[in-house]
Structure 1
């Protein structure tokens, strides 16, 4: 078996048929010819993500699909790019950031996020239907928030959105990494000479220019690419289901995260540092395991009736959309707040929102690491 595997156009929210009904651990042929593994159950995934005998290090990892990420397969992660590091290097960077992403700090951002959402909806209403929800709503909200957190000018959002999107598609423009790195390095230089009240300025005393540049790159891309895709795809799912909900609860957000699982091709992945048994299979030292989150988050041993989207589902938060273990998503509380506010504000302002094209005509990112809609044409009654 090889990745990527496209989803069925009439079932855009379901895992690819080729990944259904597999055992917990299946052999997977990687892009470079490596014979590794695909994990498809919650228990297997938690073992791989939580066991220190599995490494996240970039230089050990074989990738299932082509990638233009910094470092690439066979190269160590550059300083500051801590997502593909193991403790203690990973711990050092994570510890510096943990205080910036506490639940309390993220809740303090709620009024500003509500204001951003309201401003985007005002502009959307003023322009009138139809609209591309990705362009006018799903992308701007997390982009503005992460820009303000980092202290990056939102006026440059077209520049970094265009380039960051290249980092999550196979065969993306490798020059995009250099462009973003050069841009952020200049931002770091400015923070050192004229610090502000932002995350990058607060880290200048603890990190070198190279470390802070790469860390900012990681946060900038992760901070808007995933949430923007999840926000738009969630709206698509709710509209395709029929009448949009009057309100979107916290449980509904968790259920959408579980049911959609936007990290869908080639990740997350870990490499065995020694022989490890997982779900009855022996993973040899040096073999890479890829986790299929869309299948894992529909594990019937964990979630009742897992194929059904139930917005009032209790216990949906046991999903692995934000990972597990020491690499669990640092910004998950921010993402939850952005999604909750984004969904609620949209459907409260436009209760008659509907798709402006047939669902099968919504363009989707089948081969990207982060699944989502390239555009989402919507319309609404104006009287």
Structure 2
């Protein structure tokens, strides 16, 4: 009689002793079974694809769908499924009408040229926050004082959301990433945020300013173009994605550099923009804060990495694991993929996804992180962790990884 083994459960636990590493079980699968079945929360068994090359093939394949309304879509949880049903966005849709057109509407506000033009303003925000931090008591929580305010201020200003509303949207968006959230929690938080954004958009019809919500209200909020609810859902995606990932990257990247003194010295002693840009790409690769995997479903039978994936089968692509794939990132025997090296050519990482659904705000994130990491250690050359690495409260309970707090001193 043939013996079958049940697929492993996903997501897999990270080792608290190695807070920057993907789960070791995922790295093992990348070597032994790079395309295999896993079991998720609802009992379904989607495919898990772990190699960099195979994930790029999945994310760029025209028959692969991001449509979260598909009954076979492998949602991360019941809570996330409920939130996406309540506020479906172009990011979780396919096709020229549902995805391509709304993305084009927003893309012109997030070009590399426009984001580079914001560098000086991001520098001003960064310096002001560091001035306040240096003038205050120490140790200080870097998350609260610096890592969260930098991207939050920027996305609020870009959208035209009053920064006074930050406490509200920070507390509400926590329901989106907390693995303990219920469907009721996430839908309630979504409704409150949509109400806030709808009110702002409605006001900007008659009182426009120089911001993205004003442009959307003036150009798109018209019969036959887009409704207030549609625009609010687009704004919600930008608001939530525009601060959570960058804030976690700032805190986690700081912790990683402070625990890799040889790499920290390269960053601290340079005035070369190319090295700072390389540092950011390597931190994005090495840390990859999205740890729940990019989710897709096959729209037809396809072959990926020699494996047949049938129409209607779910697919999970853990990009944190792909970004540690030796075949993609070990260009030199002295540069293993599980090492942090700020000189590594890492621009081909998948931290922002790949293909038509890759992150719209990636150029903004790059500029923010370049300014932050070029400034933080120059302004505070003696910056150090104020607690042992093992005592830091990392976000093992969240779908976006980072640190709940990061005590630092100097």
TM-score (norm 2): 0.88
1:279 aligns with 2:305: yes
Tell me the equivalent position of 2:258.
Answer: 239
Q: Is the 8 A contact 2:86 2:190 kept in 1?
A: no
Q: Is the 8 A contact 1:50 1:326 kept in 2?
A: yes
Unaligned runs of at least 5 residues, structure 2: 1-7, 221-225, 331-335
1:270 aligns with 2:296: yes
Task: State the secondary structure of the residue aligned to 1:114.
Answer: helix
* Residue of structure 2 aligned with 1:142, choices 143, 146, 151: 151
CA shift digits 1:56-92 (9 cap, x unpaired): 001125345325347547x4863xx111011211001
* Cα distance change, pair 90–364 in 1 and its aligned pair in 2 (3 A): same
1:307 aligns with 2:338: yes
Task: State the secondary structure of the residue aligned to 2:312.
Answer: coil
* Cα distance change, pair 216–130 in 1 and its aligned pair in 2 (3 A): same
Q: Is the 8 A contact 1:77 1:85 kept in 2?
A: no
1:184 aligns with 2:197: yes
Give the Cα separation in 2 of the matches to 1:191 and 1:57. Answer: 31
Give the Cα separation in 2 of the matches to 1:227 and 1:16. Answer: 22
1:106 aligns with 2:115: yes
Tell me the equivalent position of 2:105.
Answer: 96
Unaligned runs of at least 5 residues, structure 1: none
Structure 1 or 2: more helix by fraction: 2
1:21 aligns with 2:28: yes
Task: State the secondary structure of the residue aligned to 2:364.
Answer: helix
Task: State the secondary structure of the residue aligned to 1:282.
Answer: strand
Task: State the secondary structure of the residue aligned to 2:116.
Answer: helix
Which of structures 1 and 2 has the bigger CA Rg? 2
1:202 aligns with 2:220: no
Tell me the equivalent position of 1:5.
Answer: 12
**1:180 Cα deviation after fit:** 1.0
1:34 aligns with 2:44: yes
**1:193 Cα deviation after fit:** 2.1
Give the Cα separation in 1 of the matches to 2:63 and 2:397. Answer: 30
Task: State the secondary structure of the residue aligned to 2:232.
Answer: helix
CA shift digits 1:242-268 (9 cap, x unpaired): 363314611011001001111112x21
CA shift digits 1:313-347 (9 cap, x unpaired): 12x00101111110111111100000011111111
TM-score (norm 1): 0.94
Tell me the equivalent position of 1:66.
Answer: 77
CA shift digits 1:167-200 (9 cap, x unpaired): 1122323221111111111111111121111001
Aligned 1:114-153 pairs, distance under 5 A: 114-153=123-162
